[in-house]
Each structure stands twice: as structure tokens, then as C-alpha cells.
Amino acid sequence: MADTVALEVFRYLPEESDEPTYETFEVPVREEWMVLDGLNYVKDRLDGTLSYRWACRMGICGSCGMLVNGEPVLTCATYLEDLLPGPIRIDPLRGFPVIRDLVGDITDFLNKLQRVKPWIIRDEEHPPSEGPYRQTPEELSEFKQYSMCINCMLCYSACPIYELEPDFIGPAAIALAQRYNMDSRDQGARERMAVLAQHEGVWACTFVGECTTVCPKNVDPAGAIQRYKVAATADWFQRLLMPWKGGE
């Protein structure tokens, strides 16, 4: 195994230049080191001005997503030794305006996530004296896969539609909407349908499937979108044939 590897790191310093550049750093290759460890080495030893996001280093927080050799990955879960002999190119995630270096502006994603109301909605609440809302293991299994999403936005970076149609609400937001639509305790599916059944909702998706391929938690956003297309179609026909029921 090589002693060092070259990291070609995307640099954008808005106070110095309008155009991004790449800067190369030689970092040691140590057993069990991830790409994030290499970036931390650069930050600690070589250039303290390098900017990027990270938090847990355990594939849980989702904040260290970047493009490594063009692929959206969590840098805390990508081994340096698997990318030898290098060089290794590191870029910010596609589809998000760059604020500085490897830090993208995720405001658009956060706004879209809020639109799908990713929380339990109840039309009525039973009194606390009746105890918690219980679920069977079968009811939990219906939505558990989608609850594993960590908002890392790798799926957005992999999605060709998100770059072409900025209004597309995107795979993670739709998967998280499905997580609550399929929760037996939730009664907010009608509110989410008003958002997701539009063109910029599920219908903008052309089912490339890269969102599912890159997901580090084995969530299936592409599957969630296709299931929602079926639900939206059934809802449309029900409203057409039985308008007096209001699609309920």
C-alpha cells in the first residue's frame, strides 16, 4: 500500500476569486483511514482555511457527503486505500450552490423538506390517559426503510432531474413523505398529496434510479416515488369517478 496519496480538492474562496480552482495535497495513507480523515489531515496540518462539513464520523449525521472521483459518497465511509493509487478528486455535491470550498448551500432542500411535512399529523388526538398510539411489527415494517434516511443529499446530487428542473421536490423529501404516509399513526396523507401529486412532485421523476443506488442507508427513494405515482393516479381516478367522496 502506498505511503501517501494526492487529494485534488475543489477550492472556492469568494473573497479571493470568482472562479473555483483545485489544490493538491499529499496526505498519508493509514490503515482504516477514510477520505474524511484525509481532509481532516489537510485541515489540521496543511491548510486550516479548507472548509467542509462533518460531524459524527459514523455515517449517521449525513453531513460529510461530497463527490469523490465524481461519485456522491459519505466521506466518513469511503476508504482511502480503496481509491489508490490516486489522485483522488474531491468536489462539493452537485446541484447545490457552493458557499465556500466543499460547502454547498442546502437551503433549497430544507425548504422542500418542510413542504412535505415530515412529521406525524393527526386530525384528532386521543387523551393522554388512553396511552400511546401502538403499532404492530407489521405496521412498523411498512415504513421503517424510509425512516432510515439521514438527509445526506447524496440522492439529490446523483439525480439528473434535480439539476435540470430545480423545482423538482427531490428523492429524499418524497421518501420521507412516504415514511409518514405509511405510518399507521399519521393522518396527513391528504395534505402531502396536494404537494407531491404535482408535476414538480413525483411526476418530474423519470425513474433513472441513481438516487437508490447511491443511498448509504439502503433507502429506496426511487421505489417510494413509483409507489406514490400509483397512489396519486388512484387518487385522481377516485376524485374523477366519485367526486362526492373528496378523494378520501
Instruction: Tell me the pLDDT tens digit for each residue of 154-173.
Output: 999 999 999 888 899 999 99
Does residue 141 sit in the same domain as residue 209?
A: yes
Same domain, 92 and 177: no
Percentage of residues in the chain having pLDDT higher than 90: 72
Number of domain units in the chain: 2
**How would DSSP label each residue in 162-226?**
HHH-TT---HHHHHHHHHHHT-TT---HHHHHHHHTSTTTGGG-----HHHHH-TT---HHHHHH
Under 8 Å CB-to-CB from 239, ≥6 apart: which residues?
A: 246, 247
Q: Which of 204, 209, 152 is nearest to 176 (CA)?
A: 152
Pairing between strand 21-28 and 103-104? unpaired
Q: How many CB atoms lie within 10 A of CB 130?
A: 8
Residue with cell 455535491: 93
Residue 86 has a pLDDT of: 85
Based on the domain organization, do 100 and 24 belong to the same domain? Answer: yes
* Same domain (yes/no): 63, 181: no
> Is there a single domain that holds both residue 120 and residue 209?
yes
Q: CATH number of the domain that 189 lies in?
A: 1.10.1060.10
| The pTM of the whole model exceeds 0.85 | yes
pLDDT digit string, tens, across residues 206-219: 888 899 999 999 99
Answer for the pair 75, 93: CB distance below 8 angstroms, yes or no: no
Per-residue pLDDT reduced to its tens digit, 21-44: 999 999 999 989 999 999 999 999
Whole domain around residue 185: which residue ranges?
107-245
pLDDT tops 80 at residue 238? no
Q: Is the pLDDT of residue 203 over 60?
A: yes
The pLDDT tens digits for 72-124 are 999 999 999 999 998 999 999 999 999 999 999 999 999 999 999 999 999 98
- Neighbouring CB atoms inside 10 A of 159's CB total 29
How far is residue 123's CA from residue 238's CA, in Å, rounded to a whole number? 22
Contact 92, 101 (CB under 8 A): yes
